[in-house]
Structure 1
Amino acid sequence: MTDDTHDIAVVGAGIIGVACALRLARQGLRVVVIDRQAPGHGASFGNAGHLATEQVFPIADLSILKRLPAMLMDPMGPLRLDWKYLPRALPWFTRLLLNLRPAPFRHTVAGLRTLNEHSLGAWHRLLGDIRRPDLLKVDGSLLVFERPESRAAIEALQARMRQQQVPVDFWQAGAVQDVAPQLSPHIQGGLFFPATGHFLDPYRVVRELVDAAASSGVQFLTRQVQGGRLNGQGVALTTDAGALHARRVLIACGAHSAPLTAALTGQRVPLDTERGYHLMLPQEHERLPFPVTSLERKFIMTPMAEGLRLAGTVEFAGLARPPTMARAWQLHRLSDGLFRTPLNADAATPWMGFRPSLPDSLPVIDRACDGKVLLAFGHQHLGLTQAAVTAELVARMASPLTAQGGQLPDLAPYRLSRF
């Protein structure tokens, strides 16, 4: 092994891979980040920008069985399963349903809550380290409802949230109008989550972390990782530009993580992807003070530096099929009636990305193969929220004596061996 071998190769240059790379480099490790795209150009580019610490429940519940026919038949529904992908998705969905039984469901909620409770503090530390705390606005978020008959569901959700110690307040219609006067007067009220925040530009966050990591010696390579193997000195990765050697590897390439995990650890991971869409409205800058989600319409609107981002919907169609961009434009139609005047969609841009999802809704954060392989993937729609705390956990796994972050979650719920 040559002297220029890296201490650790991070496969994946999304928000999680980049945050981990920075933490590892700050601990004195020689780090290289490898991705087939430029940093931040995968799912990290187009997320909703919402630091969603309140989302401690899985995205699905047992009502998914009743919704399955609509998922297959309605291409514009909020939760869609491409019927051509159904045979491949059935084993994953079977495991999802099994994880919705009471005991595993409680396990999932506890695992999500633990990560989310540590997420805001971890982000403050990470942004403070790069002297860019201004990138994050911690001013809360709001879930609104429009139909009087939805009040019971909102109150039940509030009770469940409080049971999980999630900070939440019920707002009457007048309180909603006071803070967001451009919303429709037909809105009945909502739940306000004070311990949440949003990023004015999620891609800018990745770029700032990349710059800080590069200043700390991290090397970034645009390569396609095709496989890998363990050897006596560490890990040999096969790329489209030749072999790359490292003492350890961190697999953090989101929805693309399963093949390399299997190649290096021998463990098959039931990883699939929730294809998420957004529509960016560059003409809308003053509509909302913070992220607002619609209970009935099931999408989120986040104010950003470049306009208003409408995001949401879940589509199961795998990694290979082309995007259904009509789903992104459907978000604009969903906004009709939510405001006093319609949103301006001039020069709007649609986007689709792959959220890495496991059937128990928890990520894999672990070490394997005597510490030669580290894992950080499968954060589903909470990748942005949990990136900073994941980076602290990875740093602790890599260098327990020099890691920062204070009291951190136990890794037991996120182990690879659970599959």
Structure 2
Amino acid sequence: MDAHPQATSDPNVEADIIVIGAGIIGTACALSLSQQGWRVVVLDSQPPGMGASYGNAGHMATEQVFPIADAAIVKQLPKMLLDPMGPLRLDWRYVPKALPWFTRLLWNLRQAPYQASVAGIRALNEQSLAAWQRLLDSIDGRHLLKEEGSFLVYEKADNADELEALRARMVEQQVAVERWSGDAIRDVALQLSDNIQGGLFFPGTAHVINTWQVVNSLVQAAKSNGVQFRQTTVVSGSVSGHCVSLQTDSSTALTAPKVLIACGAHSAKLTTALTGTSIPLDTERGYHLMLPHERERLPVAITSLERRFIMTPMEEGLRLAGTVEFAGLQRPANMQRAWQLHKLSQGLFRSELDITDAQPWMGFRPSLPDSLPIIDSVQDGRVLLAFGHHHLGLTQAAVTAEIIANLATQGERHPSATNHAVADLSPYRINRFT
């Protein structure tokens, strides 16, 4: 594919844009950039799609327009510290390092910043599914997306009021939502137990049938456009003149006119090096349990209100996911949390799930205290940023890619640039942390 008109002829430049991160965000951005004619190289310490993107819940969570925490988290803090198997866990050994992040999170629970977060999440989510449709259509990959909605179910009659309050809040945010009875839900999901009292149906949501295959399809399409994928670790970088220099763990220096940082929970150090801004980025350690013998158990993704986890049907089985643990990037995984997901499923079905050959997993979701990602162009357009999507990385990947593709033009409309991307990017700018 022809190089972008702004491409330099400097022989030391490896590409027009170097993308750091080969997860769902980085690969979607690389593909979108290549479709505009940019020469792109993608760097990652792992093969494409093998980080958090491999193990996400597979749910296109356009209905989740509220931040990861609300005022109720204050009451939950003691339990978060004491219950190692709770749905929201804070490892007591990580408290000193996590304290500044949680302080910012609590500060963002004030009405004005909280509502700003809701507006920012909603603006991305409203465009997310349509952006995914466009991206998958461009590579003949629409079959990877099942657009059949999802459910949030409840079991305890006492929680009917809580569910109705949530429905009302979602209606206020213009989220498409319907109240369904337990019998109506069981007509769709035949194997759910009679314990299900009812729930909410979200017609504007979807799920993917194979999380790794989604990334792989983007990778293959990007490669066909000339994008190169290299397995290497970027350890440092600097901006000088009209280029960005990156140092790798093999002591190789790579340079390009532009760099996109999209390496999820590992983005903070390099962002500081290239922008001078310190980012309060932490990680939600997410767990899943894949059940390979339960492919036919559910037709759509179903979340439990009381048990606080999600079950998503996929090609390779039923994926149970959804717990959050704050313990940083260094501590080993506590796979008991993954197996706990099976215990949480007990009582939701007419017969117990088959855990034969079940596969536990843990990954790092990049999270900022205001629950908004950083999507930005800084350093005179030389440094692009796309990270911090917490548990909405899959959901917001395609719309983020459209935004980045537009930002890369530095205001010059490329013939292939989209007009669909979110108009107001101020909620996602890095300068909110300066």
Q: What band does the TM-score fall into relative to the shorter chain?
A: over 0.9
Unaligned runs of 5+ in 2: 1-9
**Equivalent in 367, 374, 395 of residue 385 of structure 1:** 395
**Secondary structure of the equivalent of 1:413?**
helix
Q: How many percent identity over aligned positions? A: 64
Please say if 1:257 is aligned against 2:267.
yes
Cα distance in 1 for residues equivalent to 2:355 and 2:71: 36
Cα distance in 1 for residues equivalent to 2:418 and 2:297: 36
* Corresponding residue number in structure 2 for 1:325: 335
Please say if 1:112 is aligned against 2:130.
no
Please say if 1:165 is aligned against 2:174.
yes
| Alpha carbons 1:122, 1:405 under 8 Å: kept | no
What's the TM-score, normalizing by structure 1? 0.99
| Alpha carbons 2:13, 2:257 under 8 Å: kept | no
**Secondary structure of the equivalent of 1:150?**
helix
* Corresponding residue number in structure 1 for 2:429: 415
* Corresponding residue number in structure 2 for 1:307: 317
Q: Please tell me the residue identity of whatever aligns with 2:420.
A: Q
| Alpha carbons 1:5, 1:247 under 8 Å: kept | no
Cα distance in 2 for residues equivalent to 1:105 and 1:42: 29
Deviation at 1:5, TM superposition (A): 3.0
* Corresponding residue number in structure 2 for 1:201: 210
Cα distance in 2 for residues equivalent to 1:348 and 1:84: 29
* Corresponding residue number in structure 2 for 1:404: 417
* Corresponding residue number in structure 1 for 2:140: 131
**Equivalent in 371, 379, 386 of residue 369 of structure 1:** 379
Cα distance in 2 for residues equivalent to 1:56 and 1:154: 16
| Alpha carbons 2:58, 2:394 under 8 Å: kept | yes
* Corresponding residue number in structure 1 for 2:4: none
What's the TM-score, normalizing by structure 2? 0.96
Deviation at 1:290, TM superposition (A): 0.2
| Alpha carbons 2:375, 2:387 under 8 Å: kept | yes
| Alpha carbons 1:141, 1:194 under 8 Å: kept | yes
Q: Give the length in aligned residue pairs.
A: 419
* Corresponding residue number in structure 1 for 2:80: 71
Cα distance in 1 for residues equivalent to 2:134 and 2:166: 31
**Secondary structure of the equivalent of 2:377?**
strand
**Secondary structure of the equivalent of 1:6?**
coil
Cα distance in 2 for residues equivalent to 1:408 and 1:21: 16
Instruction: State which drifts further: 386-395 or 178-187.
Output: 178-187
Deviation at 1:407, TM superposition (A): 3.2
Instruction: State which drifts further: 33-42 or 236-245.
Output: 236-245
Unaligned runs of 5+ in 1: none
Please say if 1:178 is aligned against 2:187.
yes
Cα distance in 1 for residues equivalent to 2:34 and 2:182: 49
Please say if 1:36 is aligned against 2:45.
yes
* Corresponding residue number in structure 2 for 1:147: 156
**Secondary structure of the equivalent of 1:139?**
coil
**Secondary structure of the equivalent of 1:227?**
strand
Q: Please tell me the residue identity of whatever aligns with 1:60.
A: A
* 1:86-141 CA-partner distances (Å, limit 9, x unpaired): 00000000000010110001000000000000001100000000011100000000
* 1:309-354 CA-partner distances (Å, limit 9, x unpaired): 0001100000000000000000000001000000000000000000
| Alpha carbons 2:312, 2:320 under 8 Å: kept | yes
* Corresponding residue number in structure 1 for 2:24: 15
